Structure 1
């Protein structure tokens, strides 16, 4: 299975444009671009977050969708940007470029420590891992003048 399914794209791209971009029934361009987008997102989030819990397979018929809608939206934005850069690097729609830059900025902010409502990595005991905690026996000193 894959993280994104064809119907996920209906919100952001018209089906006739989607078919022009990738007329094949196998949707190979979309699958390759999606793999790149998910890999890019996993690399940004892997330090603090449980990426295996974030990037679960898309639901099948009658199954509950466990994917975070915001992460799905970002994955679509990044996927469509990657498709456009191959198809027409000089003719990328401004909307695609803006949405990609917004997605990338959010990923960079989260990687730098901004808050995100995503599952944190934990060890076998349920303790959070990936976050640095500093302990000291000494009281903090005030170094102001």
Structure 2
């Protein structure tokens, strides 16, 4: 269970009545979708950022942009449970925007302001632009 997203965080994205109707007031479903959304985000962010620190943050220590995208992905998954054929276009667009943003972060095209980076030695290993070569050979004397 993730403490990164709280029930109150959904109030800015979806009405409580709609959320309760989607989940039939079962908070376990919300927690499952939250965990799936965070796992999806970890896959994109773990090459550059300390995802354990990001997603263990609580309250005001959380990065608001990452929180917003995590909620968008979670709400999309909640709507997918209900009726995947009739998901609102707004929910689809927000989910696609979140995934596209995550892809840009993973491709080193976007940085997340204030997010904790991995240590330098780990970043060097994960950097897609790292070049190496064989040691120089001496062929003649």
TM-score tier by shorter-chain length is 0.7 to 0.9
8 A contact 2:48–2:118 mirrored in 1: yes
Secondary structure, counterpart of 2:56 in structure 1: coil
Cα separation, 2, equivalents of 1:89 and 1:134? 44
| Runs of at least 5 residues in structure 2 that lack an aligned partner in the other structure | 134-141
TM-score, with structure 2 as normaliser:
0.82
Cα separation, 2, equivalents of 1:47 and 1:128? 8
| Runs of at least 5 residues in structure 1 that lack an aligned partner in the other structure | 60-64, 137-145
Report how many residues are paired: 127
Cα deviation for residue 58 of structure 1 reads 2.8
Runs of 4+ in 1 over 3 A off after TM superposition: 132-136
TM-score, with structure 1 as normaliser:
0.79
> Which residue does 1:2 correspond to in 2?
3
> Which residue does 2:70 correspond to in 1?
75
> Which residue does 2:101 correspond to in 1?
106
Structure with the higher fraction of residues in helix conformation: 2
* 1:38–1:102 distance in 2 versus 1, CA, 3 Å: same
